[in-house]
């Protein structure tokens, strides 16, 4: 048994170990703490990359915690999948890879960014705990573990959002997020209880294999969709997003974006791998499409009027989540019909997943740029900022890159994924791509506004002493920019190697179930 | 009918807790509401695992004959209780910090973030 079989566990265990080791290592001083922080982040990214390669080469990986087989044969010969499982298909592995890149970028950025604050041992511990929770969410094969990892990620993010606890706004944002999230996650626990009461298992594959689409399943589905849509920041439960994203330190916001995408992953895992065909052309698919359109439009219209730079970007993340919901909702609508699936369903799913990948690269970069502005100019208010392009050339270039990507200007990567979503959603109803395009234009408009007010214009007297941010911060931003450029220059290569295996794994419920149960049960 | 009573109680507790979270104005009462919702979820899991006349699910201590109650929901509930302990503690400490900053526990006055 080669060591690569243990990769799924390592991707979760390394940041978890790092989190609890961080306060101890911090006793030794600043340098060991920073080395530890970066080491754990790099190791997580490395293991995620290896896991992604491993899964794409050998197929879905199933890892049983503390046992060699998934089942527990009883003396009567009956078998139940009772063990704690990690199940990683291409989609999960891709999410783990995306998440770990964001973790690494945020970690590099926060070395200098957080330098002048106290309590950094707790900061590092919570940051790595958030990473562990996020990786657990995308790798688990078990509904109850999903709940546990969501709670781990949530509790860590409450602490991090309120990290600047001398700012009343930060504590208020943290408390608001906590209240909404805690109640929301209890809905997930209720849904798990409903499914457990019907099937006596909490394993996703086993539930998916036996699913009879009756009333308790519908109730459970509604609870799961509502709670997970809340966690990924979709309208109408988006009110925590602008507060939490704007008040958290920038490096944390970078990771929070990735964590919200892990919730989106869980939403689609539930819809496609547990419920699957029984949802085809149902009200649920339409509900997801409508949520997506509302998120896009409401998010972007709220963003246009904002004056604070991080709050503006946070409203944009509400609207960007709408694109993913639209793409995957269209895919879900076509799921039951092979003809529609090959006509536009698969394109929609690929577009949604590619947009997810793009979004998780350029949105953190935008938040890091906002953090860099805050670090250098000590202000987040667009009315105060101005004329910083000459003072901060690298940040300006990185910001333009990310803004062009989010606005979907050709040839940037955002354009490719938006185009896939436009052309596939057109087949369902012409109004859907219209909403998406209007959103895209308003996105461009508001980022032109940010660029013009913050970077262009005459140099202001108050900012005469502003200098470019330190190298380690630029390194974190550069890492994300490098990925964006790669996705921009090689869109077909990325589609073939990253997105298509993930989309096929997501749609193929039989192989997800079969990987755990092996045709048994 | 009487067998369904636990589920009715779970439903009532859940609605009661949710009502408190949405309509109460005092932060501490809201935190209590969240705890009630959590208790309802835990109770629901335990009720699902109960088999009437069942023994404790430990093989060596289970006693003679009969059936076990299901151990899995109990394990799930224990985990959920630990998690809700952590969130309650964090929530109360955040309420404390909020009180220091704003000098009030009234949610209508703690709203600097808007728009």
The pLDDT of A372-388, averaged and rounded, is: 89
Closest residue in B to A197 (Cα–Cα):
B48
Count chain A–chain B contacts defined by CB atoms under 8 A. Answer: 90
Element spanning A436, H or E? helix A431-454
Residues A328 and A291 reside in one and the same domain: yes
Beta bridge partners of B106: B26
Containing domain of residue A318, as a range? Answer: 280-489
Report how far residue A238's alpha carbon sits from residue A222's, in angstroms, rounded to the nearest whole number: 17
Identify which has the larger pLDDT, A213 or B12.
Answer: B12
- Own/partner contacts of A493-500, CB < 8 Å, gap of 24 or more, are A494/A354, A494/A357, A494/A413, A495/A350, A495/A354, A495/A416, A497/A56, A498/A94, A498/A354, A498/A357, A499/A94, A499/A350, A499/A353, A499/A354, A499/A357, A500/A350
Instruction: Considering only the beta carbons, identify the residue of B27, B48, B97 that sits closest to A196.
Output: B48
The pLDDT of A134-151, averaged and rounded, is: 93
* Token pair in block for residue A140: 């688990």
Instruction: Considering only the beta carbons, identify the residue of B83, B86, B112 that sits closest to A169.
Output: B112
Say yes or no for a CB contact (<8 Å) between B79 and A175: no
Residue B112 lies in a domain: no
B-chain residues within 8 Å CB-CB of A197? 48
Q: How confident is the model at residue A139 (pLDDT cuts 50, 70, 90)?
A: very high
Instruction: Give the per-residue pLDDT at A283.
Output: 85
Report how far residue B80's alpha carbon sits from residue A181's, in angstroms, rounded to the nearest whole number: 15
Residues A380 and A258 reside in one and the same domain: no
Residue B75 lies in a domain: yes
Residues A252 and A320 reside in one and the same domain: no
| CA max distance for chain B | 65
Instruction: Give the per-residue pLDDT at A519.
Output: 47
Residue B26 lies in a domain: yes
Q: Which of B67, B13, B68, B77 is nearest to B45 (CA)?
A: B77
A-chain residues within 8 Å CB-CB of B45? 189, 193, 196
Q: Are A289 and A432 in contact (CB under 8 A)?
A: yes
Structural domain count of chain A = 2
Instruction: Give the per-residue pLDDT at A76.
Output: 60
Residues A270 and A408 reside in one and the same domain: no
Q: How confident is the model at residue A73 (pLDDT cuts 50, 70, 90)?
A: low
Residues A212 and A308 reside in one and the same domain: no
Q: Which of A158, A139, A288 is nearest to A224 (CA)?
A: A288
Residues A338 and A256 reside in one and the same domain: no
**ipTM of this complex prediction, to 2 decimal places:** 0.93
Residue B69 lies in a domain: yes
Residues A135 and A5 reside in one and the same domain: yes
Residues A481 and A510 reside in one and the same domain: no
Residue B9 lies in a domain: yes
Say yes or no for a CB contact (<8 Å) between A183 and B18: yes
Say yes or no for a CB contact (<8 Å) between B87 and A182: yes
* Minimum mean pLDDT range among A48-57, A124-133, B103-112: B103-112
Structural domain count of chain B = 1
Query: Three-state DSSP class for B55?
Result: strand
Closest residue in A to B11 (Cα–Cα):
A190
* CATH value at residue B25: 1.10.287.3510
Say yes or no for a CB contact (<8 Å) between B98 and A190: no
Say yes or no for a CB contact (<8 Å) between B112 and A193: no
A-chain residues within 8 Å CB-CB of B104? none
Residues A12 and A55 reside in one and the same domain: yes
Q: Which of A36, A41, A39, A43 is nearest to A22 (CA)?
A: A36
Say yes or no for a CB contact (<8 Å) between A196 and B21: no
Containing domain of residue B24, as a range? Answer: 2-102
Residue-wise burial string across A407-446, b where 16 or more C-beta atoms lie within 10 A, e elsewhere: bbeeebbbbbbbbbbbebbbbbeeebbebbeebbebbbeb
Residues A464 and A514 reside in one and the same domain: no
- Note down pLDDT in tens along chain B; length 115 residues: 677 898 999 999 999 999 999 999 999 999 999 999 999 999 999 888 887 777 777 777 666 666 778 888 888 899 999 999 999 999 999 999 999 999 999 988 888 877 6
Residues A311 and A439 reside in one and the same domain: yes
Report how far residue A476's alpha carbon sits from residue A470's, in angstroms, rounded to the nearest whole number: 11
Residue A353 has pLDDT above 80, yes or no: yes
Residue B113 lies in a domain: no
Selected for mutation to probe chain A from B3, B11, B50, B83 (highest A CB count within 10 Å) is B83
Say yes or no for a CB contact (<8 Å) between B76 and A165: no
Identify which has the larger pLDDT, A365 or A78.
Answer: A365
* Token pair in block for residue B35: 């705890």
Q: Which of B40, B29, B71, B95 is nearest to A186 (CA)?
A: B40
Residue A196 has pLDDT above 80, yes or no: yes
* Minimum mean pLDDT range among A37-41, A66-70, A354-358, B84-88: A66-70
Report how far residue A192's alpha carbon sits from residue A202's, in angstroms, rounded to the nearest whole number: 7
B-chain residues within 8 Å CB-CB of A305? 115
Instruction: Name the percent of chain A lying above pLDDT 90.
Output: 68
Residue-wise burial string across A277-304, b where 16 or more C-beta atoms lie within 10 A, e elsewhere: ebbbebebbebbbbbbbbbbbbbbebbe
Instruction: Give the per-residue pLDDT at A170.
Output: 93
The pLDDT of A30-36, averaged and rounded, is: 94
């Amino acid at each position: 048994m080669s060591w690569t079989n243990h990769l799924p566990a390592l991707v979760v265990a390394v940041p978890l170990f790092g989190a609890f080791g961080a306060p101890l290592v911090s006793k030794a001083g600043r340098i060991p703490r920073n080395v530890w922080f970066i080491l754990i982040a790099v190791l997580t990214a490395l293991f995620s990359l290896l896991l992604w390669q491993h899964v794409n080469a050998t197929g879905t990986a199933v890892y049983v915690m503390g046992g060699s087989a998934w089942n527990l044969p009883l003396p009567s010969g009956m078998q139940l999948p009772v063990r704690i499982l990690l199940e990683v298909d291409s989609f999960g592995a891709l999410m783990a890879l995306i998440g770990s890149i964001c973790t690494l970028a945020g970690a590099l950025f926060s070395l200098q960014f957080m330098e002048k604050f106290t309590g950094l041992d707790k900061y590092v511990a919570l940051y790595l705990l958030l990473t562990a929770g996020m990786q657990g969410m995308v790798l688990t094969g078990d509904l109850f573990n999903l709940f546990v990892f969501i709670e781990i990620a949530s509790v860590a993010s409450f602490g991090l959002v309120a990290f600047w606890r001398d700012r009343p706004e930060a504590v208020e944002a943290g408390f608001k997020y906590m209240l909404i999230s805690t109640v929301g996650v209890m809905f997930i626990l209720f849904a798990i209880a409903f499914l457990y009461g019907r099937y006596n298992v909490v394993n996703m594959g086993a539930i998916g294999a036996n699913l009879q689409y009756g009333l308790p399943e519908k109730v459970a589905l509604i609870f799961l969709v509502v709670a997970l849509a809340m966690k990924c920041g979709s309208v109408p439960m988006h009110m925590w997003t602008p507060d939490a994203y704007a008040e958290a330190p920038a490096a944390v916001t970078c990771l929070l974006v990735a964590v919200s995408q892990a919730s989106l992953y869980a939403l689609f895992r539930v819809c496609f791998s547990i419920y699957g065909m029984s949802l085809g052309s149902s009200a649920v698919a339409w509900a997801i499409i409508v949520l997506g359109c509302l998120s896009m439009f409401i998010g972007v219209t709220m963003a246009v009027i904002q004056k604070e730079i991080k709050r503006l970007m946070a409203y944009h993340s509400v609207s960007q989540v709408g694109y993913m919901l639209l793409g995957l909702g269209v895919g879900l609508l076509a799921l039951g019909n092979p003809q529609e699936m090959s006509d536009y369903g698969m394109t929609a799913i690929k577009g949604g997943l590619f947009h997810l990948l793009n979004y998780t690269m350029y949105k953190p970069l935008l938040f890091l740029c906002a953090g860099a502005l805050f670090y250098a100019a000590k202000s987040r208010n667009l009315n105060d900022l101005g004329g910083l392009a000459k003072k901060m050339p690298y940040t300006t270039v990185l910001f333009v890159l990310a803004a062009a990507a989010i606005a979907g200007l050709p040839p940037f990567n955002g354009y490719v994924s938006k185009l896939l979503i436009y052309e596939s959603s057109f087949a369902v109803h012409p109004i859907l791509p219209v909403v998406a395009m209007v959103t895209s234009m308003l996105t461009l408009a508001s980022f032109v506004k940010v660029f013009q007010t913050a970077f262009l214009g005459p140099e202001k007297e108050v900012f005469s002493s502003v200098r470019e941010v330190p190298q380690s911060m630029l390194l974190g931003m550069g890492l994300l920019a490098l990925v964006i450029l790669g996705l921009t220059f090689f869109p077909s290569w990325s589609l073939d190697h990253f997105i298509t295996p993930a989309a096929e794994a997501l749609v193929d419920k039989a192989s997800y179930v079969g990987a755990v149960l092996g045709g048994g049960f | 009918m009487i067998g369904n009573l636990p589920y009715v109680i779970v439903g009532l507790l859940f609605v009661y807790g949710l009502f408190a979270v949405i309509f109460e104005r005092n932060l501490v009462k809201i935190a209590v509401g969240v705890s009630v919702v959590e208790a309802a979820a835990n109770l629901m899991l335990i009720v699902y695992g109960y088999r009437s006349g069942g023994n404790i699910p430990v093989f060596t201590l289970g006693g003679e004959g009969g059936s076990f109650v299901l151990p899995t929901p109990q394990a799930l509930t224990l985990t959920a209780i630990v998690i809700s302990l952590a969130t309650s503690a964090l929530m109360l400490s955040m309420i404390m910090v909020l009180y220091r900053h704003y000098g009030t526990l009234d949610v209508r006055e703690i709203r600097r973030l808007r728009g």
